Structure 1
Amino acid sequence: MSQLWHEIRHTPLLWLLVLAPLVLVAHSAVPDAHTLLFLLSVLAIIPLATLLSHATEAVAARTGDTVGSLLNATLGNLTELIIALAALRLGQYTLVKASLAGAIVCNTLFMLGASFLLGGLKYHVQDYNRVSARLQTSLLFLATIALIVPSAMADADSVAAAPDFMQDLSFGLAIVLIIAYGLGLFFSLKSHREFFGSAEHASASDEAPWPLSVALATLAAVTIMVALVSEVFVESVQQAAETFGMTPAFVGFIVVALVGAAAEMTSAFSGARKNRLDLSVGIALGSAAQIALFVAPVLVLLSYVIGPTPMDLQFWPGAVIMVLVATMTAIIVTNSGRAAWFVGVLMLMVYLIFAMTLYLLPPKLL
């Protein structure tokens, strides 16, 4: 336990962990104080996500490259998955879909762009493994196609006459995307790992790794706390959004996405500042691909079990366009395998345009 306490004492962000139990106490005492609960839950989820990331890395370091990489791929977006599950159970499908699309765009544009900017401010030019980036952007493009097809078919007369078509199509697409996700892992971790492995290895840490028992216990405890706090977050987010003048699309697309990706952003930005841009690109694009190919399909399948009705993959046209633009931007930018600070600025400007549009968007147009 000494390593865990040392990590908490020497990481100021983790001092906010005290807010996690405070959120639960406040929810029991003043359940109608939605704005207060929203702010507290946002501040509590960020350190919980950070600690969850540290625990995942500690477990992965003990299990070997292949299993460790698979573990990181599975648990890297656990915070987003838990938040989405809480919204899914309450039937807030608009929030779920907005958070999924927002997570893809946030990781692809904001996280990657900010990494390029922060790294470029310290180093003149940075290089990274463009083969790995091409794989992740190719997977993202496949997922984008899976989002475009249901939205494109939604207004067809034959679809309107067959109300079950969209759910059946979404179920089939979810299976296809999960298979593609699994094959992508096999390709990068097994059959052609020589092209990707070197980009994923970090330098040895000076600190002693956590014991496996401590890492697993931390992982379990933090996952439970994230689930509890996420329930409060989802219950209060809509009313708090009205207080702050935010549209439902902005909340899901921007706020939820940024909160859920807080831990990954910390690692990505740190890697860029240390001239380990392979790590930053891998986290940003890998996380976006995981959301698109694993988290979204899993939520569609789970909606048959825990949701009030099955959820489909039909997103509103604006979300599909933004995901497509973000994916194409990533494909163009990462084609050279080199980055500078101005490239990051351009990507952040694209994200700012999306955020501005969603903030001003009238809710009834969603």
Structure 2
Amino acid sequence: MKFLKVLLIFIPLSIVGEFMHFSPTVNFLLSALAIVPLAGMMGEATEEISCYTGPKIGGFLNATFGNATELIISFFALKSGLFDVVKASIAGSVIGNTLLVLGASMLLGGLKYKTQKFNKKVIEVSASMLLFAVIGLSVPAIFTHTISQDLLNTKYEGLSVFVAVIMFIIYILSLVFSFFTHKDIYAVSGDEENLEKAKWTLKKSILVLGVSTILIALESEILVSAVEPMTKSLGLSEFFVGIIIIPIIGNAAEHSTAIVMALKNKMDVAVEIAIGSSLQIILFVAPVLIFLSLIFTPMSIVFNPFELAALIVSVLIVNRVANDGESNWLEGVQLLAVYVIIAAAFFIV
């Protein structure tokens, strides 16, 4: 966290760069570096709030605000009509969480501990839900390839909204499942101990959370405005920026939290951060972005074949890894290897 705080210097630098009309590449880099520590502060604030609310509500807040950065960046991309970037960042967040974050956690945790165990029941529920969500995302894409283009133009937006509504309802029901009907599965021991760990007052935590959110919104606007000219000047595709670079920026703090948990032999938390965050991206962030797009220009929920293939592969691997309730460093290497291969393929495409 100390390293992240050093990066706060990039907040004023990025604002100066925007007003002084620095090159798009420099502005993109400065705003990206500014977002990383802000996302970290947002994560730290939610962790402090969880000390007052208890681990269950705290975990929910952590997951929600952990994806807030991604949602804010995507909102400004949506407003600018960068639909490919938005959809790529949704897919990239899921791929990054399930392969990069989980892989790094398993590798580094596995190097310190020979075998790490996690709650198989909880992870199985989340992994199965994630598989369902990806299947839900696949249906509109299959639909677009099986009907004529004329019908596609009139039916396709309605289908996207319908799928988004179903996804959002499933998200609400998953909260009911974890907080009410099956809360015993998610029971965490040592609640009293967790409540004593607050380093900040509740007022300070809420203030930091609010200020971080506002600054992330400001930096996201700078970052998104630089995407198109930056990609052209560097010869990169917006697709690659959306699926690899933006998710890494938006989720950097969350990634480091998962790795720290794995190093503390709290693999339950690390795996749940990776899978739970991916689940929330598909069931909450994606539908919200579809609904918000209706204010500007309606965006479809149709992903291209490359994104879908990568999503399905990632989720199938996670389900396989979660099957035995334990992990080791070799599984981490395998997940990271798949991520590197996918990233290289998207860079070429």
- Superposition TM-score tier, normalisation by shorter sequence: over 0.9
Structure-1 residue corresponding to 2:18: 27
8 Å CA contact retained: 2:126, 2:279: yes
1:94-144 per-residue CA deviation (whole Å, 9 max, x = no partner) reads 000000000011001110011000100100000001111111111211111
Structure-2 residue corresponding to 1:350: 338
Given candidates 3, 7, 24, the residue that maps to 1:12 is 3
Given candidates 206, 213, 225, the residue that maps to 2:215 is 225
Cα–Cα, structure 1 residues 208 and 187, in superposed 2: closer, same or farther, change >3 Å?
Answer: closer
8 Å CA contact retained: 1:46, 1:259: yes
Structure-1 residue corresponding to 2:201: 211
Tell me the distance in 2 between the aligned counterparts of 1:200 and 1:103.
31
Cα–Cα, structure 1 residues 139 and 160, in superposed 2: closer, same or farther, change >3 Å?
Answer: farther
AA aligned to 1:22 is L
Tell me the distance in 1 between the aligned counterparts of 2:344 and 2:148.
36
2:276 equivalent to 1:283: no
Tell me the distance in 1 between the aligned counterparts of 2:188 and 2:49.
20
Structure-2 residue corresponding to 1:250: 240
The offset of 1:158, in angstroms, is: 4.5
Tell me, which stretches of 5 or more residues in structure 1 are unaligned?
1-9, 362-366
Cα–Cα, structure 1 residues 201 and 159, in superposed 2: closer, same or farther, change >3 Å?
Answer: farther
Structure-1 residue corresponding to 2:327: 339
AA aligned to 1:147 is L
Cα–Cα, structure 1 residues 201 and 29, in superposed 2: closer, same or farther, change >3 Å?
Answer: farther
Structure 1 runs of 4+ with >6 Å offset: 199-203
Structure-1 residue corresponding to 2:262: 272
1:163-207 per-residue CA deviation (whole Å, 9 max, x = no partner) reads 231111111111111111111111112211111223897974986
SS of the residue 1:161 aligns to: helix
Tell me the distance in 2 between the aligned counterparts of 1:237 and 1:222.
22
* Percentage of pairs with the same residue: 39
Tell me the distance in 1 between the aligned counterparts of 2:190 and 2:238.
37
SS of the residue 1:154 aligns to: helix
- Report the number of matched residues: 349
AA aligned to 1:29 is M
AA aligned to 1:12 is F
2:319 equivalent to 1:328: no
Tell me the distance in 1 between the aligned counterparts of 2:126 and 2:346.
26
Given candidates 260, 263, 270, the residue that maps to 2:250 is 260
Structure-2 residue corresponding to 1:140: 130
Tell me the distance in 1 between the aligned counterparts of 2:304 and 2:346.
12
Given candidates 174, 179, 187, the residue that maps to 2:177 is 187
Structure-2 residue corresponding to 1:316: 304
Structure-2 residue corresponding to 1:101: 91
Tell me the distance in 2 between the aligned counterparts of 1:124 and 1:274.
13
8 Å CA contact retained: 2:54, 2:194: no
Structure-1 residue corresponding to 2:144: 154
1:201-249 per-residue CA deviation (whole Å, 9 max, x = no partner) reads 7974986431111111111111010000011111112322334332222
1:293-327 per-residue CA deviation (whole Å, 9 max, x = no partner) reads 0000000001112x2x1011111111011101100
Cα–Cα, structure 1 residues 162 and 119, in superposed 2: closer, same or farther, change >3 Å?
Answer: closer
Tell me, which stretches of 5 or more residues in structure 2 are unaligned?
none
AA aligned to 1:53 is G
The offset of 1:272, in angstroms, is: 0.5
Structure-1 residue corresponding to 2:39: 49
SS of the residue 1:353 aligns to: helix
8 Å CA contact retained: 1:58, 1:209: yes
